[in-house]
């Protein structure tokens, strides 16, 4: 376990290098806001930022979703914290505070579903024990998801309360207002939030199809989506991605179909036919509206992500470096068996599967009754043993199945799924209604099912809690006592050299991950950034990575000078990488893209007469010395000044 910043490092530089890759970029803009003479000036410079990437002016607020950094900088200045606490600790404190809200929201959701605080406690215990799979807060603090998901958890908690059938008017109004506010805030914090809300909208659409009693409430939620999308579009600099999002197309289609629905008597044959027709119309109209929006609304949607999905599911093959590099990233691969092993060892997965099966089967009973024309009971009592008739249960079952299906494809999505696995499993085992449903199916006669359900709803979570305490609490305390601070002396030396020796106007080229650290620690301009939502930056990353390919010194020189780079940094870890996954080293992917190796049967091989650039440039012989002069090196990094060359000679 590695939690940074818990021990006092020697200086600010040693603290900042703990931020890696895109995390470094986010925190660097927080620093820029604090240095600005005024908030307005700081925002203006971020919107018209031309001091980060060479030859490129970017709207950093929109492109990188920097609203968390804007809010954090305002709070830091407004509360007078600059006289009490250092900026980095204030920033980290906010993120960890949001994680507290995250866990609290899961606690409340579980309590609302089960009716007992014991479920909330078990949810928190499972969340903490499985923190490797529930959150990335320990390793990548400034990530957008760490800022956004707590608000989504609040939205889910409010939605759960709003969907409950026995809620009074004031409680319903409070839940709706909280849901509306958290939906909009969540959308502002994360550029991919509308995709997660799209899955939620699908869940509510299916709930509406199965439980007509909640139709009005569900359509009120749709209005919240539309309002949040519209307001987000205006305040995110007319972000066209929100207009072409599948969420907007789906919600508009649902609202239109709702307006066109005929008042047909429930349970009749015509009503059943209309239900099927409505379902078909919603699907067709959603796709049609999305195509129309993408046709008429100028947008820069992540086309490379669609290509990635094609390659991911075997619909296409490619030699493209960026696509293959993304496929090699762990968070974009299918989850390993270790995930299921960890969840099983903490007893979470077995109980989740048990709860999900019971709730799903009970929900299917409800659907069959509806198809057969039987009306549902207005009030479901504990003795009825029909947990699947509760609308909030139906919603959570559908939602967790959708999230789980995606998590089985991409491991990075497990951080969306596993927190709700904790919540659903805990609320299930602590709910007498779930056990009563099970006993009704088993036709238990020896003991009264309701009495036994109450006993098990308290005994099972108590036994689980005691076993978790015995097995995991000592391990957790041991990890806390063995906290280690991330420290990289080679990177500290490199940053120190740049700040002392490099000209202020210098532009650095190297791997995107290192460029993020350079931008944070020194403020110098770079040629690329570790961001993968911009096509131009992706192309830059691929071109700069050519320093690890089998290309000539002249080719590399032309690439670097086209971006006005003055210094080149070669990382030994990439140049001499020994990858555990076959074919996923950067140099292997470059060789495939450049045709220097055959990656598939029938592929063409292009022989390269040049050695690998990152190796050859270290030898200091012609023609490399004509273009590059080594000015600094240590165990991990080699820095070369890019010379001014008048002409090229073969």
Average pLDDT over residues 370-391: 70
pLDDT at residue 471 in the model: 85
Q: From the CB of residue 376, how many other CB atoms can be counted at a distance below 10 Å?
A: 14
Which of 82-91, 253-262, 440-449 is the least confident region? 440-449
Distance between CA 322 and CA 504 in Å, rounded? 31
Burial of 447 (C-beta count, 10 Å sphere; 0-12/13-18/19+) = exposed
Structure tokens, 176: 């709706």
Per residue in 489-530, pLDDT tens? 899 999 999 999 999 999 999 999 999 999 999 989 999 998
Q: Are 388 and 364 in contact (CB under 8 A)?
A: yes
Which helix (H) or strand (E) segment holds residue 639: the answer is strand 637-642
Q: Hey, which of 422-431, 435-444, 462-471 has the most confident mean pLDDT?
A: 422-431
Q: Hey, which of 42-46, 375-379, 587-591, 606-610 has the most confident mean pLDDT?
A: 42-46
Pair type for strands 637-642 and 628-633? antiparallel
Per residue in 93-131, pLDDT tens? 999 999 999 999 999 999 999 989 999 999 999 999 998
pLDDT at residue 336 in the model: 87
Which of 213-217, 259-263, 382-386 is the least confident region? 259-263
Distance between CA 47 and CA 237 in Å, rounded? 10
Give the rounded distance of the alpha carbon of 137 from its chain centre.
12
Alpha helices in 445-570 (DSSP H): 449-481, 489-501, 512-521, 535-544, 553-562
Scan for tokens 């056990």, then name that residue.
435
pLDDT at residue 182 in the model: 96
Structure tokens, 43: 């925002």
Per residue in 619-635, pLDDT tens? 888 888 889 999 999 99
Per residue in 149-195, pLDDT tens? 999 999 999 999 999 887 888 989 999 999 999 999 999 999 889 99
Radius of gyration of the chain (CA): 28
Distance between CA 270 and CA 277 in Å, rounded? 10
Please, which residues bridge with residue 629 across strands? 641
Distance between CA 42 and CA 32 in Å, rounded? 7
Residues written for the chain: 650
Burial of 139 (C-beta count, 10 Å sphere; 0-12/13-18/19+) = middle
- Whether residue 583 is preceded by a cis peptide bond, meaning omega within 30 degrees of 0, is no
Look over the chain and give the mean of its residue pLDDT values, rounded to a whole number: 85
DSSP string across 161-213:
HHH-TT--HHHHHHHHHHHHHHHHHHHHH-TTHHHHHHHHHHHHHHHHHH-GG
Classify 642 as helix, strand or coil.
Answer: strand
Pair type for strands 567-571 and 637-642? antiparallel
pLDDT at residue 446 in the model: 63
Q: Flag whether pLDDT at 63 surpasses 90.
A: no
Please, which residues bridge with residue 632 across strands? 639
Average pLDDT over residues 126-146: 89
- Ramachandran category for residue 333: left, alpha or beta (phi over 0 → left; psi -120 to 50 → alpha): beta
């Amino acid at each position: 376990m590695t939690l940074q910043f818990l021990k006092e490092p020697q200086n600010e530089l040693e603290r900042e290098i703990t931020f890696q890759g895109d995390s470094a970029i986010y925190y660097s803009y927080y620093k820029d806001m604090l240095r600005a003479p005024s908030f307005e000036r700081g925002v203006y410079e971020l919107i018209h930022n031309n001091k980060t990437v060479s030859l490129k002016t970017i709207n950093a607020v929109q492109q990188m979703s920097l609203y968390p950094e804007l809010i954090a900088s305002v709070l830091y200045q407004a509360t007078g914290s600059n006289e009490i606490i250092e900026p980095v600790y204030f920033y980290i404190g906010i993120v960890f505070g949001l994680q507290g809200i995250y866990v609290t929201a899961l606690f409340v959701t579980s309590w609302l579903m089960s009716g007992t605080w014991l479920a909330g406690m078990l949810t928190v215990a499972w969340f903490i024990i499985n923190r490797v799979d529930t959150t990335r807060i320990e390793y990548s603090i400034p990530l957008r998801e760490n800022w956004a998901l707590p608000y989504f958890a609040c939205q889910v908690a409010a939605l759960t309360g709003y969907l409950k059938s026995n809620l009074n008017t004031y409680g319903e109004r409070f839940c709706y207002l909280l849901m509306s506010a958290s939906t909009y805030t969540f959308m502002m914090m994360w550029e991919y939030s509308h995709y997660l809300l799209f899955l939620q909208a699908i869940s509510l659409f299916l709930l509406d199809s199965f439980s007509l009693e909640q139709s009005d409430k569900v359509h009120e939620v749709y209005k919240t989506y539309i309002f949040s999308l519209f307001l987000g579009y205006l305040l995110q600099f007319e972000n066209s991605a929100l207009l072409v999002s599948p969420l907007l197309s789906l919600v508009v289609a649902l609202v239109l179909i709702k307006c066109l629905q005929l008042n047909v008597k429930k349970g009749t044959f015509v009503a059943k036919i209309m239900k099927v027709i409505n379902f078909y119309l919603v699907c067709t109209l959603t796709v049609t509206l999305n195509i129309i929006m993408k046709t008429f609304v100028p947008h820069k949607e992540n086309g490379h992500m669609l290509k990635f999905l094609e390659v991911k599911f075997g619909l296409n093959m490619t030699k493209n470096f960026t696509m293959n590099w993304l496929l090699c990233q762990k968070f974009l691969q299918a989850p390993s068996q270790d995930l299921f092993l960890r969840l099983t060892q903490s007893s979470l997965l077995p109980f989740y599967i048990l709860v999900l099966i019971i709730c799903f089967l009970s929900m299917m009973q409800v659907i069959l009754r509806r198809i057969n024309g039987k009306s549902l009971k207005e009030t479901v009592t504990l003795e009825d043993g029909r947990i699947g008739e509760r609308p909030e249960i139906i919603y959570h079952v559908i939602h967790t199945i959708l999230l789980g299906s995606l998590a089985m494809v991409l491991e990075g999505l497990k951080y969306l799924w596993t927190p709700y696995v904790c919540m659903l499993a805990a609320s299930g085992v602590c709910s007498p209604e779930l056990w009563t449903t099970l006993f009704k199916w088993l036709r238990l006669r020896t003991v009264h099912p309701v009495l036994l359900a109450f006993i098990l709803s308290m005994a099972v979570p108590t036994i689980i809690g005691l076993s978790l305490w015995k097995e995991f609490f000592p391990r957790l305390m041991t990890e806390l006592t063995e906290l280690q601070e991330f420290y990289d002396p080679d990177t500290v030396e490199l940053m120190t050299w740049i700040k002392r020796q490099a000209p202020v106007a210098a532009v650095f080229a190297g791997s995107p991950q290192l460029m993020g650290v350079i931008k944070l620690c020194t403020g110098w301009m770079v040629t690329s950034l570790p961001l993968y939502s911009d096509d131009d930056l992706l192309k830059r990353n691929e071109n700069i990575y050519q320093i690890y390919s089998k290309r000539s010194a002249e080719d590399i020189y032309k690439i670097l000078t086209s971006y006005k780079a003055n210094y080149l940094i070669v990382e030994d870890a990439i140049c001499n990488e020994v990858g555990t996954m076959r074919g996923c080293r950067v140099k292997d992917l470059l060789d495939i893209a450049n045709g220097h190796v055959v990656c598939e049967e029938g592929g063409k091989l292009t022989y390269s007469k040049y050695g690998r650039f990152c190796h050859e440039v270290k030898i200091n012989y012609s023609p490399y010395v004509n273009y590059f002069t080594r000015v600094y090196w240590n165990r991990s990094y080699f820095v070369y000044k890019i010379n001014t060359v008048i002409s090229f000679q073969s």
